[in-house]
Chains A and B, each alone.
Chain A
Amino acid sequence: MRPLTEEETRVMFEKIAKYIGENLQLLIDRPDGTYCFRLHNDRVYYVSEKILKLAANISGDKLVSLGTCFGKFTKTHKFRLHVTALDYLAPYAKYKVWVKPGAEQSFLYGNHVLKSGLGRITENTSQYQGVVVYSMADIPLGFGVAAKSTQDCRKVDPMAIVVFHQADIGEYVRHEETLT
């Protein structure tokens, strides 16, 4: 468990900023306490100061996780967002996609969102913009990347992919062992 290096921080922030933009600083600079990011087992955890202190008592090899896992660094040192970060990012999400009830399940099984399943989308969403996928009942379902801009979405045929799947809450079931 160690703090992130600057490089790691940058990579991670770049990633997160795709989803929440400048709201990122609200994660770092929180009014309700001090929060920080910690790297442990290649995973980045978002930890409050309090828990950090508590976790300091546990040896590194025995520590499974602390705080909330935001994602992990791949071997190539890229940052991959985990669905566990959804609770922290969804409130700040700048671009949102709502999927129809029929397409919800498809998305929750790890599939991309097709245009037929697209219920609603934030305007001015650019291509490859990170989005948070919501159900029509405004329940955050996961992360995705806009495969098409909002304008393009209008033109494409119904079976075209609109949002690439990145993480979804189905992973809590599907990848239970890796979500720490």
Chain B
Amino acid sequence: MSSRRSRSRQSSGSRITDDQIIDLVSKLQQLIPELRGRRSDKVSASKVLQETCNYIRNLHRQVDGLSDRLSQLLASTDTDSDQAAIIRSLLME
């Protein structure tokens, strides 16, 4: 049922033009550190999209690892309130 609905929707507006793809590819390429150095005509659209997905997943994984580490650290620093003051003053440089 859902595939039939998506088919009818595709005919109306989501035909993606080549210009849009080129635009998307060039813009995403600037964001991803891996692909920034390469020339835009050598990188295909699917590669840019793939690298974008990988990069976002990578960032998610980093956040997960950092939050695990933070939770461990927080469990051991719960006591002092002046430590929190130290942290805040360090951050507010």
Tell me if chain B binds chain A: no
A residues adjacent to B (C-beta < 8 A)? none
